[in-house]
């Protein structure tokens, strides 16, 4: 059976790596908010036209609202980088993942499984971004973990990482500490059947009986 498992470690980036992490957090938030803003505009226009139809100002709503399109949005990233060159400085896969997060948020919203996606704020006490595993760009090498653009980052290795790597999420908490969560895919083999059985007696009237002294210390205290 294939299941996903997450490993969380604290990382100790250098000052240079901290600056790059801060840039990546900001750029991923920018891309997320950019595409959420574009979709909010499309949805708002559809609702506006629909309201005009209900008020009798228009005979019908000929404007077709468009659901958020993940692939189109990812393909728009190179053009977006031309207008905002600072996006070229960070991990491009992390930017693509930000678009995928927008897509998943809207997918759940259209199915009425959650509220409408909101803009992300830089004032959020916990900041994070996610990058995907591609061609060995994420790896555990001794006391360091290899991450895209960051290179080798020292980390507190508390256990071995087993499984096929899927992605890595880098977080900065309110105290300024950094953590990485590595998501892996593992194949768990079922335990062999032993042939033994377990019986449960459901006819018990009392599961446990507590016997107390007739006159406890608390009663003696209040009897003073």
Q: Across the chain, where does the E strand assignment appear? A: 2-12, 127-132, 139-141, 144-147, 151-155, 164-172, 178-187
pLDDT at 67: 74
Q: Taking the model in full, what pTM does it have?
A: 0.77
CA torsion 14-177-87-184 (nearest 10°) is 100
Contact 119, 37 (CB under 8 A): yes
Tokens describing residue 168: 């890595």
| Plot region of 157 (φ>0 → left; ψ -120 to 50 → alpha; else → beta) | beta
Contact 73, 102 (CB under 8 A): yes
Q: Examine the pLDDT at 207 and tell me if it is beyond 90.
A: no
Phi first, then psi, for residue 92 (nearest 5°) are: -65, -30
- Quick one: how far is CA 195 from the chain centroid? 41
pLDDT, tens only, 173-193: 999 999 999 999 998 777 777
pLDDT band of residue 26 (cuts 50, 70, 90) is very high
Contact 94, 131 (CB under 8 A): yes
pLDDT band of residue 220 (cuts 50, 70, 90) is low
> What's the alpha-carbon Rg for the chain, to the nearest Å?
27
pLDDT, tens only, 49-78: 566 666 666 666 555 556 788 999 999 999
């Amino acid at each position: 059976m294939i299941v996903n498992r997450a490993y969380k470690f604290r990382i100790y980036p250098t000052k240079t790596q901290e600056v790059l992490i801060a840039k990546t957090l900001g750029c991923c938030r920018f891309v997320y908010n950019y595409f959420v803003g574009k979709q909010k505009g499309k949805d708002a226009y559809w609702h506006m036209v629909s309201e005009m139809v209900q008020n009798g100002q228009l005979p019908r709503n000929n404007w077709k609202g468009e659901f958020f399109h993940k692939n189109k949005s990812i393909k728009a990233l190179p053009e977006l980088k031309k207008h905002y060159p600072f996006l070229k400085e960070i991990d491009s896969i992390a930017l693509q993942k930000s678009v995928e997060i927008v897509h998943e948020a809207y997918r759940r919203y259209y199915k009425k499984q959650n509220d409408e996606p909101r803009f992300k704020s830089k004032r959020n006490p916990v900041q994070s971004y996610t990058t995907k595993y591609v061609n060995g760009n994420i790896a555990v090498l001794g006391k360091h973990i290899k991450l895209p653009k960051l290179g080798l980052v020292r980390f507190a290795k508390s256990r071995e990482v087993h499984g096929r790597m899927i992605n890595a999420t880098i977080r900065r908490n309110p105290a300024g500490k950094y953590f990485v969560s590595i998501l892996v895919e593992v194949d768990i083999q079922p335990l062999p059947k032993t042939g033994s059985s377990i019986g449960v007696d459901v006819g018990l009237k009392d599961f446990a009986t507590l016997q107390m002294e007739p006159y406890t210390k608390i009663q003696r205290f209040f009897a003073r």
